[in-house]
Every structure is written in structure tokens, then in C-alpha cells.
Amino acid sequence: MNQQTADETESGTVVESSNTPDYAAITPSGKPPTDYSYAERRAELLQQIEDVGHPAVLNQTELADRYGVSQQQISKDLDRLDEYVRGRLGRRRDLEVGSVLQACMTGALSDGDYDAARKAATAYDEYLDRRMDTLEVRRRIERLEAATDGGDQ
């Protein structure tokens, strides 16, 4: 069963979709940011989060001005990105932890500190392993709960 998410259309309305775009694979076109589709805007936001290392560093008011949308829309975009990352890795902290560790790895590599980059990569790998184990336990619990609920009816 696909998780349904709400996304804005080009006209600004909200529609239900089970086909969330792969924001990491989208490259915004050469048009002005105010003309971006919601998917292009979110792709660029995701890249900015990865570049700065944490979503809290972004100024939502400035981003709203850049894209010609409301601050509330930027907040919703960040929530959709959170769902996107959660769907790939887990909870919102995955967006934060992943962004911070990627920034650590990138910074350490650019500084030539390969030991620090290795440590950051190892920490991220271990975090993902623990996260995937946790997700598997949650799936098992959901299946058990569904089986128990089905037997009570």
C-alpha cells in the first residue's frame, strides 16, 4: 500500500498523490526560481539543506521571497521533504542527521582531513544500520497489530 501525500499543483491547489517525486534526482531548470514547479523548488530546498547541513539554518522568509510563495508554503515544502526523506530513511531526524553528517564528510574531504571524513562516514553508516533495524521492528509490530486487529473482528 502506497503512502498518500498531498502536493500542490502548478495552479497552487492541493491534490492527493501516491507518486511522490524523487526530489534528489530533480535538477531545477534554468528558469527563475519564482517559475519553479513545486518539485523543482523542493529539489533545490533539499540541496540547500544538504549544503548547509541542517534545515533549521534556512531562513523560510527569505526562501519564500526567492520562490514567490508564502512562508507557510516553504514550511509545507520542508514537511514534504521530511516525508520524502522519512520514506527513504526514517523520521525527520534522518534529514537532520544525514545532512549534518554529509556536511561533515564533505567539509572534511575538502579540508584533506580523511580521517575525520572516514569517521563521519562510519558514523552515518552505523546510524543507517540502526535506523533500518528500527524500521524493520516497526514493520513487524504493525504486521502483528494488523493480524491481531483482524482476528478481533
High-pLDDT (> 90) share of the chain, %: 33
Residue pair 92/82 in contact by the 8 Å Cβ criterion = yes
**Residues 22, 36, 45, 78, Cα dihedral to 10°:** -80
- CA 95 – CA 88 distance, rounded (Å): 10
Tell me, what's the pLDDT at 60?
95
The residue type of 5 is T
Domain boundaries, the chain: 30-152
Name the one residue in this structure whose C-alpha cell is 524493520: 136
Residue pair 7/14 in contact by the 8 Å Cβ criterion = yes
Does the pLDDT value for residue 113 go beyond 60?
yes
Q: pTM value?
A: 0.52
Q: What is the mean pLDDT of residues 14-29?
A: 69
52-86 pLDDT, tens digit per residue, is 878 888 999 999 999 999 999 999 999 999 888 77
pLDDT-derived band at 151, boundaries 50, 70, 90 = low
Q: In angstroms, what CA-CA distances link 41 with 52, 77, 82?
A: 16, 8, 14
For residues 100 and 67, the model is more confident at: 67
